[in-house]
Structure 1
Amino acid sequence: MDFRISLAGLMVGFLIGLTGMGGGSLLAPIMILLFRVPPLWAVTSDVTYSAITKGFGTIIHARQRQINFRAALWLACGSVPAILVSVFLVQYVRAHYGHLINTILLHAIGYTLVLVAILLLARPYLLRYAEKLASKRKKAALETGESDNPGEGKEGNPSWYRRLLLILAGAFVGFLVGLTSVGSGTLIIVTLAFLYPELGPKKLVGTDIFQAFLLLLAGMVGYLSSGSINWEIVGLLLLGSLPGVYIGSKLSKFIPDQVLNPVLAVVLAVSGLKLI
């Protein structure tokens, strides 16, 4: 048993709890590049580990009332079926073209990491833009006497176009995560920032973590049924990650991420380019 994997889990769990993104994307390249874990095991272990840790993070953020459950559930309407499709695709390729599966996953992870790195750098600017947009909406609502949340229908339900965009975004990310285990945080939070600018950064993170939990839980069930999960790796990761995600979630209210995001983005970009 290599307890260095537990140290990696501690670091990644802390980053997941702190930012809701970036940390999970580090796990697959860490296992592949540092511990020489086959890409298929890296993906399935990452999905399983992340499902459990994000479930733990969900409890913390729910207690802090930092989750928009309606938005997360509409995202899940697209992401859960899509990740099951991608899990089936991985298993089909593994069964019929076994010699190609690790090469395909390696390149898919590499390109996705580069995309995540770009979005991670853009995250602060996107969140600031979303905050400005929310302020404009509130100001216009005060002037006209209308709702300051035009994207909501009756009883707080999202309008039809918000629902459609949430489902489509969830489906895209769900398929990608099932294939690579990367991007469940970064890709979705960009969508949420534009569709729900009124939420604010902390509630965006909490909503993102909850939807990622639903998405990854479905992926874990899919890979569990195929018997392709390495439980020893998952156990070692959890040994370090559970305290890490708890500390990160607790500190998410106090630690700014202006320095953290660029560092993570550079690490992800370099890791992605090495895998391509």
Structure 2
Amino acid sequence: MEWIILLFIGLIASILGSIMGLGGGIIVVPALMVLSSYMVAFQHITPQVAVGTSLLIMIFTGLSSTLAYMKQKKVDYQSACIFFAGSGPGALFGVWLNKDIETNYFLIFFGGFIIVVSFILLIRKYIKPLKRKPRGIVRSYINQLGETVEYGFQPVVAISIAFVVGMCSGLFGIGGGSLMVPAMIILFGFPPHLAVATSMLMIFLSAIVSSISHITLGNVDWLYALALLPGAWIGGQLGAYINSKMTSDAVVYLLRVFLIIIGIRLIYQGITGL
């Protein structure tokens, strides 16, 4: 029974993560933590195991989504590599922070973080790039209307933001796209679809770094990872396809409601231990 549940979680998390560039861990980690309080089979799940297992799955979600976005020619490889220069070290720092965190504190912090993410998703459709001329590294992109869009960023600023994103990834087991994608759109002027696709490549690279660290610490449940993998791979492809066909407003709305409920549930579980 738990294998069917994990397969379904991996599929849904990967689809939503790929559509919005989130990575899927924002669903997998809270799902594992909530299940640990309801089902005997999941009672051994600690924050460290939930995060480590999620990050391992995120490698395959990120790879699957990135390959699909590559076919759509929406990935900015140079920008993703520059962002990874910050997110990679940040991910290692996040793993170090996660190492000794107690379950109750993790649930409270993560629950609060999820509610913040739901608020970001609430305002995301209203996010517009700052009206300024691109500086630093300037890139261009031809959108679906055939228009050439310019965007750019200062490497120091981009790497600093990516470090924080990587830290959240290593600490909470999420991709970090919930923070990186809005920053790419607002501060750097990335077209939304390009931001999501480029974010998924950065998430893939960061997940490799942080998951290796968690593996060395013994924070991966390999059986559960195998159960999550098929859904994660298929969902990554489906999410990228859906992203190319829709604005995903309805999906974002449902995800917001779901995240708020889960966030409140995790905080309650952390405070009461139930």
Tell me the TM-score normalized by structure 2. Answer: 0.83
Shift of 1:163: 0.8
Match of 2:26 in 1: 25
User: Partners of 2:235 and 2:36 in 1: how far apart?
Assistant: 20
Count, aligned residues: 249
The question of 1:40 aligning with 2:25 is answered no
Q: Does 1:119 align with 2:120?
A: yes
**Paired residue for 1:206?**
197
Larger strand percent: 2
Q: Distance in 2 between matches of 1:217 and 1:195?
A: 27
Matches of 2:33 and 2:137, distance apart in 1: 46
Q: CA deviation at 1:22?
A: 7.4
Whole-Å separation in 2 of the counterparts to 1:218 and 1:90: 15
Residues 153/223 of structure 1: CA separation in 2 closer, same or farther (3 Å cut): closer
User: Which blocks of at least 5 consecutive residues in structure 2 are unaligned?
Assistant: 38-44, 141-150, 268-274
- Superposition pairs of residues 159-198 of structure 1, within 5 angstroms: 162-182=154-174, 184-197=176-189
Within the candidate set 127, 151, 157, 2:135 is matched to 151
Structure 1: gaps (5+ residues): 94-99, 138-148
2:57 matches 1:56: no
Q: SS of the counterpart of 1:253?
A: helix
**Is the contact made by 2:61 and 2:233 (CA closer than 8 Å) also made in structure 1?**
yes
Which residue is equivalent to 1:84?
A: 92
Q: Does 1:245 align with 2:199?
A: no
Deviation at 1:230, TM superposition (A): 0.7
After superposition, the C-alpha distances for 1:53-99 in whole angstroms (9 at most, x for unaligned) are 111111111121111122212211111111112212333x2xxxxxx
Q: Distance in 2 between matches of 1:225 and 1:34?
A: 25
Name the structure where helix makes up a greater proportion of residues: 1
Whether the aligned pair in 1 keeps the contact of 2:80 and 2:202 (CA below 8 Å) is: yes
Following the alignment from structure 1 to structure 2, what is the Cα–Cα distance between the partners of residues 155 and 189?
16
Q: Give the superposition deviation at 1:235.
A: 0.7
Contact 1:40 1:101 in 2 (8 A): no
| Pairwise CA RMSD | 2.2
Say if 1:253 and 1:227 are closer, same or farther in 2 by CA, change over 3 A.
same
> Once the 2 structures are TM-superposed, how far is the Cα of residue 155 of structure 1 from its aligned partner?
8.7
Is the contact between residue 112 and residue 183 of structure 1 (CA under 8 Å) also seen in structure 2?
no
CA pair 75-4 structure 1, distance change in 2 beyond 3 A: same
- Give the alignment of 1:4-19 within 5 angstroms: 4-19=5-20
Rg (Cα) greater in structure:
1
Cα distance in 2 for partners of 1:60, 1:23 equals: 16
What's the offset of the Cα at 1:255? 2.0
